[in-house]
Amino acid sequence: MDLFQWSLLLFSILVIGISLLYRWSTAFNFHCKMALFFGWCAFWTANMSIFLSPILRRNPDNMKLLRTFIWPLKRFYGIKIAVQGSENLNMKEPYVMVCNHQTYLDLLGMMEIIPDRCVPVAKRELLYLGLVGHACWLSGMIFIDRRKKDEAREILRQAAQTMWHENMRIWVYPEGTRNKGKTLLPFKRGAFHLAVQAQVPIIPVVISSYRDFYCSKEKRFTAGNLKIRILPKVDTKDLGPEDIPALTDSIHKRMQDTYKEICGGKDVKP
Ligand SMILES: CCCCCCCCCCCCCCC(=O)SCCNC(=O)CCNC(=O)[C@H](O)C(C)(C)COP(=O)(O)OP(=O)(O)OC[C@H]1O[C@@H](n2cnc3c(N)ncnc32)[C@H](O)[C@@H]1OP(=O)(O)O
Ligand SMILES: CCCCCCCC/C=C\CCCCCCCC(=O)OC[C@@H](O)COP(=O)(O)O
């Protein structure tokens, strides 16, 4: 090999080496940040469960603790959250909040805006996460088993009955699961039945795509910006079960349009 060939080989090795290091460091950074997320949640919920359970009773007011514990995480990650429409939450009465669901990181957005005495509807599996589950239970979260549909509907029916009495707000992810697609999944109807049964308004919330700073497939997690738009309330007064399909569809459309708008009208992927 002559000098030129040697230098070409060296250069190629250098380029491949640097790109491999970059990939590994991006993936390493991603895994560290995700470990921090779960570790942080596990640490604080364990503390809440062990040290505060003797003095706490199951109560939606305890959501304030989770809200406070999660607050520093966005600072560590360098995620700036811009909230639009907070004035739409200035209501004393109970309501149902519906929000799109993309990743576990939605927890940061949810805790950024979740009002007092508002509890999420969560999959029952969370309850089985030991001390994490216990802290969630202490915070008054509503657990449903998504495989037992009748039981899930019954739990939501009971929640509708207690919302006024206990002055509670309920947060539902109507897609029913995390969604990495470009558009929102069709909505499950539980949240809308809940609001109609309780005769409370629905407040749609849309969180923008994480694509610019987070992608689990690419193991990429950098600093970035997130937008949350809280839409004006949708009244359900005098609506009945027959109105639910149209109600669900109209809110889905508004949220889908808003999602596209706050993602800059781009063809977005979370
Ligand atoms: C440091 C801090 C640490 C923090 C620690 C951690 C904190 C974690 C907190 C975060 C928790 C967030 C967790 C998020 C989740 O777990 S999302 C997954 C769980 N949530 C949901 O699944 C809610 C959405 N699902 C539904 O609403 C469903 O509708 C459900 C109630 C589950 C029923 O399922 P399914 O039957 O499949 O629903 P459909 O919508 O397809 O409806 C079928 C028909 O049933 C009718 N229906 C639905 N609901 C009701 C109802 N409540 N009452 C009467 N009838 C109902 C619906 O209308 C359909 O009939 P028609 O087709 O209209 O005739
Ligand atoms: C012995 C097991 C010990 C395991 C310890 C794990 C430690 C976990 C620590 C903290 C848990 C924080 C959980 C955050 C949950 C955020 C809520 C969420 O986003 O759940 C996903 C759910 O909406 C939909 O689930 P799927 O998309 O259907 O999937």
Q: What is the pLDDT of residues 48-62, one digit of tens each?
A: 999 998 999 999 999
Evaluate: CB of 71 within 6 angstroms of ligand 2. Answer: no
Evaluate: CB of 102 within 6 angstroms of ligand 1. Answer: no
Q: What's the confidence (pLDDT) of residue 224?
A: 96
Q: What's the confidence (pLDDT) of residue 268?
A: 53
Give the total residue count for the chain: 270
Please choose from 132, 137, 144, 171 the residue to mutate so as to test ligand 2's pocket, defined by most ligand atoms within 8 A of CB: 132
Contact between 96 and 118 (Cβ < 8 Å): no
Atom 39, ligand 1: residue with shortest CA distance: 188
Contact between 170 and 114 (Cβ < 8 Å): no
Q: What's the confidence (pLDDT) of residue 159?
A: 98
Atom 59, ligand 1: residue with shortest CA distance: 189
For the chain, the average pLDDT equals: 94
Please choose from 33, 34, 38 the residue to mutate so as to test ligand 2's pocket, defined by most ligand atoms within 8 A of CB: 38
Q: What's the confidence (pLDDT) of residue 24?
A: 78
d(C-alpha 149, C-alpha 147), whole Å: 6
pLDDT tens by residue, 117-142: 999 999 999 999 999 999 999 999 99
pTM of the entire predicted model: 0.92
Ligand 2 centroid–CA 127 distance in Å is 10
Q: What's the confidence (pLDDT) of residue 1?
A: 78
Residue 200 has pLDDT above 70, yes or no: yes
Q: Regarding the domain delimited by 3-262, which CATH topology (the fold level of the hierarchy) does it fall under?
A: Glycerol-3-phosphate (1)-acyltransferase (3.40.1130)
Q: What interface predicted TM-score (ipTM) does this complex get?
A: 0.93
Q: Give the number of the ligand closest to the Cα of residue 241.
A: 1
Evaluate: CB of 123 within 6 angstroms of ligand 2. Answer: yes
Which amino acid type is present at position 2?
A: D
Atom 31, ligand 1: residue with shortest CA distance: 190
pLDDT tens by residue, 209-248: 999 999 999 999 999 999 999 999 999 999 999 999 999 9
Q: What's the confidence (pLDDT) of residue 14?
A: 87
Q: At which residue do the structure tokens 């491949």 appear?
A: 16
